[in-house]
A and B are shown apart, each in its own frame.
Chain A
Amino acid sequence: MEVTVLVHATDQAFRILEEARKRSTEILDAAARLTAETQSLRQKKVQAMFKGARQTKVEAIRFVATFLIMFAFWLFLSGHYDFFHISLGLICCGLVSHASYDLLFANPRQGDMWVIVKRFILYIPWLFYQIALSNLHVARLALGPRRLIEPKIIKFKTKLESDISLVALANSITLTPGTITIDIKDGVYYVHAISKKVAEDLMTGEMEDRIAHIFMEADHVYVQDVLDVAPIFGALK
């Protein structure tokens, strides 16, 4: 009888202990979760703060960059370099960059700007060479027999992504005589070409490759670099 009571008592005591342990672990868990939540919340807040700071920093960089470009343009236009006109220029550039700082650099990628500018300047002579070539071709078409002229609209999908490279390619195509960009819809170009040769030249995709190389977009940029390295390896062997 007493033994059973004792056993019963110990059993109950163990159960109570067990419950207490369980509850304490629950409480501990909850506390830990709570701290974790607050931590993550605080982290998020700090991140947001940093993000806001980055946002303002990006905006400040845009503002200053727009201001500098505008001021260079003003100095190029003005031609009067005394104190009065320079201060007028500063005021005007401040006004313009305050009004439209988010237009000139809508989605900037910092760091590689200089590379893009350098490559773009190197691209211009090639473009002029192409324009001269197709000029001669169109002149021959105009003077030659009529059957060579086969106007048609060609359609190709591009691998370019950013809108500035799309516009650069479209304007390069339009600047070259014989081809005109009609429309761009969802990365598909609709181009009017005046003859077969012009269309074939366009479909080789060399111009697109060069534009992609300028704006550092597609994979073949690296392929080109590798191709440049290949003859050196051959020489080493």
Chain B
Amino acid sequence: MMTKQSDDVIVKTLSRLLIPFMQIYALYVIAHGHYSPGGGFQGGVILAASLILLVITYGLDNTLRRMNEKLNVIMCSGGVFIYAGIGVLCLILGGNFLDYAKLSPLLGVGIAQARSLGILGVEVGVGMAVMAVMVSIFLDVATGGLPSVDALEKTSRDND
């Protein structure tokens, strides 16, 4: 089972030290997609990878205490909502759908700068959605459809 707590001291300690750095790197990739390779898709996938590492080394219940399924679902749909919401905001302000130039009076910056900020907002939405979907798919595939604490024992008994 990939969702049990690992008993290897090397793997546990090193992943404990590495996971915060992975997360900050993922957020860096999302935030600096304008200047270097990266963006919402890559950053979201790296963030999901850090959570998957947490599941593999520290077990499922430890991870679900940090990020329960409700939060996961909220982030999953919230990412798509942020993306579409920015588009509809542009629509309300009198432009086309996802025409970030119309956001400039709202943000108080020039047109080019407003488009840059719009890109950043969209990237944040994409990152949230991708992260939540990847974590959800991994949990479903790894546990066989029962990613909750009380159901874990039942699955392992079914498997034996």
Contacts and interface: CB of A to CB of B under 8 A. Distances in A.
B23 interface: yes
A189 to B, nearest CB: 11
Contact of B24 (A73, A103, A170): A73
Given A69-B20, A70-B24, A80-B32, 11 more contacts: A70-B21, A78-B32, A89-B31, A92-B27, A92-B28, A103-B19, A103-B20, A163-B9, A164-B13, A183-B8, A184-B10
Interface in B8-45: 8-10, 12-14, 16-17, 19-21, 23-25, 27-28, 31-32, 35
A95 B8 CA distance: 29
B10 to A, nearest CB: 5
Interface in A102-144: 103-104, 106
Contacts, number: 66
Majority SS at the chain A contact face: helix
Given A80-B35, A96-B20, A163 B25 contact: no
Interface of B: 8-10, 12-14, 16-17, 19-21, 23-25, 27-28, 31-32, 35, 66-67
Contacts of B13: 163-164, 166-167
A17 B13 CA distance: 73
Interface of A: 66, 69-70, 73-74, 77-80, 85, 88-89, 92-93, 95-97, 99-100, 103-104, 106, 163-164, 166-167, 170-171, 181, 183-184
- Which of B19, B20, B35 has the most C-beta atoms of chain A within 10 angstroms of its own C-beta? B20
